[in-house]
Chains A and B, each alone.
Chain A
């Protein structure tokens, strides 16, 4: 039957030559919107990053590399470094915590699986701010966590966790964990378990079979989870803002500050371009490594 299917598939291209006619009308809105409101704005941002800031307000149409040169200054470089550290820490933790979860989830019986999926998805769908607010209540000085810890006599006085680096880290991990879980889940779910059985049959220990077969087979999910966690973790300025209380400065915060208080748009644009390049490299690497075009578990 493969021959038949081949012909059907080929016929698609054959028929198009003739039926193309009015199909352009269906894609026109997408083309128009994408070019006008995605491509063009991004292009403008890139141009903006090479322009000069005006003395008082606005932008002067004068080419400069000054904005990029400024990024290398220790103050800003340090922000990038800190952002990366936090992003890497977040990514590693979500991987370590999320992988087993996604893996176990895929091994559940069918009915429980879809129920578990629902359980994972619901917090995901609730307002991110609401969940951050929940953490504020928990971390607040003399808040729930302090009460519990002091009640258990683990600590004697309030920890003052809110507005600290650990609080931001928890917030990040908490917000991004579902991406990792779902990515790992979707690739584990697709895995051919007979391969693991074959490895076991050939004498591999449970651990060895896991390391050589399972990890390798779920690699696309792991990679896509890493990308899905790492990229946003550099831009989620509001988590650092709310839970860090201004003590933790990320690239996202830097951009926001430049825009709203500093009013230095060209510099903010340059920062964005650099961040965008990082993002593109990560997505490119992901495609290269996993050979998959769309991110696993994205939908």
Chain B
């Protein structure tokens, strides 16, 4: 099962003196659904274009099935792409669009017809052969784009924010659909998105990218519950980052003093222990939905409320953290007795606090 299909080895790429990719390496297994997650400009699209062959890296190698394809033209590699804006040929009908790749390979006419029919069935567009792309809805165009790529039996399918242009409801529906198509074909999917929910829903593995580097590679679970850096914690599921001084570690729970605000706790995992020494400055990530607020003083941080607001059935309470910046607590429901100016105690279960590496200039992402 764990057969490596695609390998990126020390890829570097520079545009107009800006380093877009700063040496990334990754091995992708056959049949995997892997997602590159990151804000726009992080280099994820460039990575994809290098894999597709639409771009040449300045340094490093791309290996497909063990063969070095770095300098191979896109039409010579068995990789296909679903473009962000679908890039359907506007002067061809659905049938011709989907058949295009096979036609180039000089596949026999009857065989083409059979496979196009099969593909359209897979993406649930049977009967749309004669339609022009302009006569299709966004979701339908999306399906044609997928069919057009998949019909060539690529070893790897690249998808560049394929759902970006669809509305929320359709996006959710297409996520399920994509996953189904991937499962039934067993093709490796490399998926690009800036939407963390999409990444968490669909992927076997997520690669969080930032400024041309990988921040973390892991399963959705790992990335969500054990972010390695403050960036990942904030980008995937928006977390608060609190800086303090480590006091002691008792029974796997670390206690951290935050100057003038109180004391907080975090989970100290086996692997982290060697690096944690009392007195050291540490950063803890806590998700807003895991925070509990009390009126009474107690263990935790004592902070004043700035304001509260409602967003999508969630109640958000902003707290003034002084040098820590603004902390945001969120929870289900709309009722809350706290109001601006109230002093509250913020605390959480020890396993909800995660040590992370602080990324500089993190604020920009927010």
User: Bound complex: CA of A11 vs CA of B21, how far in Å?
Assistant: 13
B15 close to A (CB within 8 Å): yes
For window 11-49 of A, CB contacts with B under 8 Å fall at 11, 13-15, 17-19
B55 close to A (CB within 8 Å): yes
Known A-B contacts A1-B40, A2-B40, A17-B56; A10 and B16 likewise in contact (beta carbons under 8 Å): yes
Contact A14 B45 (CB under 8 A): no
B49 close to A (CB within 8 Å): yes
Contact B56 A4 (CB under 8 A): no
Contact A7 B56 (CB under 8 A): no
For window 19-65 of B, CB contacts with A under 8 Å fall at 20, 40-41, 45-46, 49, 54-56
A3 close to B (CB within 8 Å): yes
Q: Which residues of A contact B41 (CB under 8 A)?
A: 3-4, 6-7
Q: Which residues of A contact B15 (CB under 8 A)?
A: 7, 10-11, 13-14
Known A-B contacts A15-B55, A18-B56; A7 and B45 likewise in contact (beta carbons under 8 Å): yes
User: Bound complex: CA of A7 vs CA of B13, how far in Å?
Assistant: 11
User: Bound complex: CA of A21 vs CA of B40, how far in Å?
Assistant: 32
Q: Which residues of B contact A2 (CB under 8 A)?
A: 40
Q: Which residues of B contact A13 (CB under 8 A)?
A: 15-16
Contact B46 A7 (CB under 8 A): yes
For window 72-101 of B, CB contacts with A under 8 Å fall at 73, 84
Contact A14 B56 (CB under 8 A): yes
User: Bound complex: CA of A194 vs CA of B46, how far in Å?
Assistant: 39
Q: Which residues of B contact A6 (CB under 8 A)?
A: 41
Q: How far is the CB of A167 from chain B (nearest CB, A)?
A: 51
Residue of B whose beta carbon sits closest to that of A9: B15
Contact A11 B55 (CB under 8 A): yes
Q: Give the secondary structure class of A's interface.
A: helix
Contact size range, B: 10 to 19
Contact A3 B49 (CB under 8 A): no
User: Bound complex: CA of A92 vs CA of B176, how far in Å?
Assistant: 67
Contact A15 B54 (CB under 8 A): yes
Q: Which residues of A contact B49 (CB under 8 A)?
A: 7, 11
User: Bound complex: CA of A10 vs CA of B54, how far in Å?
Assistant: 12
Q: How far is the CB of B57 from chain A (nearest CB, A)?
A: 10
Known A-B contacts A10-B15, A10-B16, A14-B15; A4 and B40 likewise in contact (beta carbons under 8 Å): yes
User: Bound complex: CA of A2 vs CA of B45, how far in Å?
Assistant: 12
Q: How far is the CB of A131 from chain B (nearest CB, A)?
A: 39
Contact A4 B84 (CB under 8 A): yes
User: Bound complex: CA of A111 vs CA of B91, how far in Å?
Assistant: 26
Q: Which residues of B contact A17 (CB under 8 A)?
A: 56
Q: Which residues of A contact B161 (CB under 8 A)?
A: 4
User: Bound complex: CA of A162 vs CA of B56, how far in Å?
Assistant: 70
Residue of A whose beta carbon sits closest to that of B41: A3
Contact B40 A14 (CB under 8 A): no
Q: How far is the CB of B227 from chain A (nearest CB, A)?
A: 23
Contact A4 B55 (CB under 8 A): no
User: Bound complex: CA of A160 vs CA of B15, how far in Å?
Assistant: 71
Contact A14 B84 (CB under 8 A): no
Contact A4 B16 (CB under 8 A): no
Q: Which residues of A contact B56 (CB under 8 A)?
A: 14-15, 17-18
Q: Which residues of B contact A7 (CB under 8 A)?
A: 15, 20, 41, 45-46, 49
For window 119-151 of A, CB contacts with B under 8 Å fall at none
Q: Which residues of B contact A8 (CB under 8 A)?
A: 45
User: Bound complex: CA of A8 vs CA of B55, how far in Å?
Assistant: 10
User: Bound complex: CA of A270 vs CA of B13, how far in Å?
Assistant: 55
Q: How far is the CB of B19 from chain A (nearest CB, A)?
A: 13
User: Bound complex: CA of A17 vs CA of B55, how far in Å?
Assistant: 10
Q: How far is the CB of B307 from chain A (nearest CB, A)?
A: 31
Q: How far is the CB of A295 from chain B (nearest CB, A)?
A: 30
Q: How far is the CB of A176 from chain B (nearest CB, A)?
A: 39
User: Bound complex: CA of A213 vs CA of B240, how far in Å?
Assistant: 49
Q: Which residues of A contact B54 (CB under 8 A)?
A: 11, 15
Q: Which residues of A contact B45 (CB under 8 A)?
A: 4, 7-8
Residue of B whose beta carbon sits closest to that of A5: B40
User: Bound complex: CA of A15 vs CA of B54, how far in Å?
Assistant: 7
Q: Which residues of B contact A19 (CB under 8 A)?
A: 73
Residue of B whose beta carbon sits closest to that of A21: B73
Q: How far is the CB of B24 from chain A (nearest CB, A)?
A: 15
Residue of A whose beta carbon sits closest to that of B49: A11
User: Bound complex: CA of A10 vs CA of B84, how far in Å?
Assistant: 17
Q: How far is the CB of A5 from chain B (nearest CB, A)?
A: 9
Q: How far is the CB of B264 from chain A (nearest CB, A)?
A: 36
Contact with A along B133-167 (1 / 0, CB 8 A): 00000000000000000000000000001000000
Contact with B along A199-243 (1 / 0, CB 8 A): 000000000000000000000000000000000000000000000
User: Bound complex: CA of A11 vs CA of B56, how far in Å?
Assistant: 9
- Most interface-central of A11, A14, A19 (chain B CB within 10 A): A14
User: Bound complex: CA of A8 vs CA of B52, how far in Å?
Assistant: 14
Contact with A along B293-333 (1 / 0, CB 8 A): 00000000000000000000000000000000000000000
Q: How far is the CB of A46 from chain B (nearest CB, A)?
A: 39
Q: Which residues of A contact B40 (CB under 8 A)?
A: 1-4
Q: How far is the CB of B76 from chain A (nearest CB, A)?
A: 13
Q: Which residues of B contact A10 (CB under 8 A)?
A: 15-16
Closest 5 pairs (CB-CB, A-B): A3-B41, A3-B40, A10-B15, A7-B45, A18-B56
Q: Sample 29 A-B pairs with CB under 8 A, ordered by A number.
A: A2-B40, A3-B40, A3-B41, A4-B40, A4-B41, A4-B45, A4-B84, A4-B161, A6-B41, A7-B20, A7-B41, A7-B46, A7-B49, A8-B45, A10-B16, A11-B15, A11-B46, A11-B49, A11-B55, A13-B15, A13-B16, A14-B13, A14-B15, A14-B55, A14-B56, A15-B54, A17-B56, A18-B56, A19-B73
Known: A4-B40, A14-B55. 7 other contacts (CB 8 A): A2-B40, A4-B161, A7-B41, A10-B16, A11-B15, A14-B13, A19-B73
